[in-house]
Amino acid sequence: MALPLSVNRKEAQLIRPAEPTPHELKQLSQLDDQKDLYFHFPMVMYYKNNPLMEGTDPVAKIKEAVSDALIYYYPLAGRLVEGSNGKVVLDCSGQGILFVEAEANVTLQMLGDSIQPPCPYAGEILSGVNESQKILNFPLMLIQVTRFTCGGFAVAVRLNHMMADSVGLVYFLECVAAIARRVTLTVLPVWCRELVQSRNPPKVSFVHREYEEDPDEATKLMHCQNIIRQSVFLSIKDIKALRNHLPPYFQKSSMFEIVTACAWIARTLALEIDPNEIVKLICVVSARGKDQFNLPDGYYGNALVFPAAISKAGVLCQSPLGYALQLIQKAKAQVSEEYVRSVLDLLAYNKGQLSIDNSWNFVASDTSRAGFTEVDFGWGKPIYGGPPVGAIPFYTSAYARFKNSKGEVGMVVPMCLPPQAMIRFREELFKIIHSPQMSPSML
């Protein structure tokens, strides 16, 4: 039975920078201005009541800190507009971002495990303010702070993806948090979008299978009706069982890689894809920190690329777990400075109008490392920080770390599938985890 949660929201306000900021036009990078990022992505953080903060209103504190943070991150207070050459540019107009104050009629504890994605109350915790998700000439960010009756609260954010990726959003939230706690800012924002531009002349040096679409429209998952969102919680014990299926040379594989290999196989089985059909696993990989790419700390623009692992469906489903894992690791290992430059050049050739292939592919993103679980406005770290929904139709899954009501720590794997396929996905996933048939095998 659903919890009778209701949220009373005040009218959205525009929060402007606390001081005058430069009014100028700024160019976006090629990674910012691509077709797949023309949307607003949501994140949410839940905070318990902290007796040490008694008498302090989180709404007022965060609202004031946001205004101060926009002095540093003043581009976020601007608007995207169409430039003279038809390209989208940023007008740093200082018009502000949307802010919503809200009150819930329940305690945070009453929500229990439902705060993990897909949260059934996501629409209450993050308001659907009219026009708040349009791209041009509208606010770039919406923040809703919702108080619970216990003194806890939620901070939910929706950001125009053309402005930043998850790490970039965390940079802004950490700035707000530092100001709220009255501590010195350790990382100042860096625009520098010129660092992420194509070469002249462009030189595409890799084959980018992630952008190659299946010409057979009938096979596309997006044509399936009645798609639903659900998540599977994999405990550390489950993930350890998966790791035990792997040969010794895979034991240093990351949790994300192992879970993704398992989910890719289970999802392919669940969709009952023809064994000869090509399936893709696309990993969302950050170009930050790559050798010689020279993205400084504080760079909050998009720095994501999408290398693809590819297999025939039948081979993927009939092979040991290590087969899928090896394909994923090889795909991720491609991401070098030259690979990123090649992506930029490909986008330049196609004027940003390329889209990630969504035939049978599975896009996996690990938001747990972005830093949402570390953002402290003065009440301590959140009990959950990550996507409120997790799976974006029709093929993207944003993983998050979670500690459930039993005290188990693990990873939430959101999925977006037709109902019967969702049932099969759960069955196949746990069959792989617990099956004695999945013993370590040499590839």
Positions marked active-site? 161, 376
Is the bond preceding 189 in cis, omega lying within 30 degrees of 0?
A: no
358-384 as b/e: b if 16+ CB within 10 A: bbbbbbbbbbbebbbbebbbbbeebbb
**CB 396, CB 227: distance < 8 Å:** no
Contact 93, 23 (CB under 8 A): yes
Nearest to 212 by CA among 372, 354, 414, 401: 354
Q: Read off the DSSP letter of residue 212.
A: P
433 CB-contact burial (10 Å; exposed 0-12 / middle 13-18 / buried 19+): buried
Contacts of 353 (CB under 8 A, 6+ apart): 34, 35
Cα–Cα distance, 346 to 269 (Å, whole number): 33
d(CA 141, CA 367): 19
Residue with tokens 């930029």: 344
